[in-house]
Copies of this chain bind each other. A is one copy, B any other.
Amino acid sequence: MSQHRPPGAPERPVAVPALPDLPEATVARLPEYLRALHNLAENGHETVSSEWLATAAGVNSAKLRKDLSHLGSYGTRGVGYDVALLIDQIEYVLGLTQRRTVALVGVGNLGHALAGYDGFATRGFRIAALFDSDPVRVGEEINGLVVRHVDELSRVATEESIAIGVIATPAAAAQRVADRLVAGGVTSILNFAPCVLTVPDGVDVRKVDLAVELQILSFHEHRKASLTALPAAGEAPLTPLPGSLAATDPQEAIGT
């Protein structure tokens, strides 16, 4: 690519950031590759073929190769990829060479589980602070961290240079929490509350909603059932009237 800047092009608006700008779809898969690679490394493998790694990560091998090619190609034809090298590469690109600090807001049911989750630490993150609004919870110690009051959120986030905020409060409180995170300089948020957050440009929000996942599965379940029910039937009005809705599907998912 543009490794070497050829002479004769002095001050071009060179768009060569330290990071290649990867397609979003690729970014979303890199963590999966990384996990698979760590498994391989633990099992003593030193190299791996795209075929193997693709299988381990659950994707198509051509896709995997294209993804990796975006970060600069470290494979050897006829051999495969060097596992350790690739791990370094991906961790670098994902910005994991530096351990990122996480603030967790809302130490309830879910928050407790998250606070006690070791997958944070083992995959590049460190929970640096816990917050809640409930006076009963404030002061509680979890995993060596004391729960602080959410009023301190902005200040602490700034002081501790929090990189990522995780919201595990009820939906009604989520926007307010997000605002405080943003005020504290946090530019990445992971939201577990089922609501849409509004944030300024430059702030990234990702959302995890359990019910959404289940409902997507439900759709496919429904679909499979309606297909097996009428193997080759034509159409039938795909406009069930409101009144007859609940009545409609007979026996779905007859198992095997």
List residues of A whose CB falls within 8 A of some B CB: 1-3, 5, 10-22, 27-28, 30-32, 34-36, 56-58, 71-72, 84-85, 88, 91-98, 100, 102, 109-110, 112-114, 116-117, 119-120, 123-125, 158, 161, 163-164, 185, 187-190, 194-196, 202, 204, 206, 208-227, 229-230, 232-240, 242, 245-246, 248-256
Contact = CB atoms under 8 A, between A and B. Distances in A.
Interface hub of A95, A206, A233, A251 (most chain B Cβ within 10 A): A95
Contacts of A220: 27, 188, 204
Contact of A1 (B96, B219, B252): B252
Nearest to A11: B251
Nearest to A36: B196
B236 A17 contact: yes
B233 A18 contact: yes
Contacts of A196: 32, 36, 56-58
A216 B112 CA distance: 23
A4 B94 CA distance: 49
Given A34-B215, A204-B217, A208-B210, A18 B230 contact: yes
Given A93-B219, A252-B98, A214 B16 contact: no
B202 A224 contact: yes
B18 A235 contact: yes
Given A56-B196, A113-B113, A249-B16, A213 B208 contact: yes
